[in-house]
Amino acid sequence: EDQVTQSPEALRLQEGESSSLNCSYTVSGLRGLFWYRQDPGKGPEFLFTLYSAGEEKEKERLKATLTKKESFLHITAPKPEDSATYLCAVQAGDAGKSTFGDGTTLTVKP
């Protein structure tokens, strides 16, 4: 059974204080690892897809990296508008079947 574990559950940062979110996964035959951002009361918003170990993707203050066992979402000099829940998901085996982690809720204080 595919498993995705995100840590920490919650993270509070001061504006400008860089940090990383972790996503550990156990799957057989990874087809893709995905990062999403979810704001309260809204649907998740797609951020990145990573396909193989060593791959990196960047978007503004966010950078996602992938190893064979985990992925990190690095947030550089965060701003209050980066406050959200960040979800990690994996797609493996059966096409279309995805497993999500429980998310990390990030709060950035001005």
Partner 1 sequence: EAQVTQNPRYLITVTGKKLTVTCSQNMNHEYMSWYRQDPGLGLRQIYYSMNVEVTDKGDVPEGYKVSRKEKRNFPLILESPSPNQTSLYFCASSLLQGHGYTFGSGTRLTVV
Residues near partner 1 (CB under 8 A): 31-32, 34, 36, 41-49, 51, 87, 89, 91, 94-103
What span, in angstroms and rounded, lies between the C-alpha atoms of 51 and 86?
19
> Nearest distance from residue 1's CB to partner 1, in Å?
9
CA atoms within 13 A of residue 52's CA, in its CB half-sphere: 0
Nearer to partner 1, 64 or 108 (CB): 64
Nearer to partner 1, 21 or 87 (CB): 87
> Nearest distance from residue 89's CB to partner 1, in Å?
8
What span, in angstroms and rounded, lies between the C-alpha atoms of 16 and 110?
9
What's phi and psi for 10, nearest 5 deg? -140, 145
Nearer to partner 1, 27 or 32 (CB): 32
> Nearest distance from residue 103's CB to partner 1, in Å?
7
What do you get for the CA distance between the two ends of the chain, in Å?
41
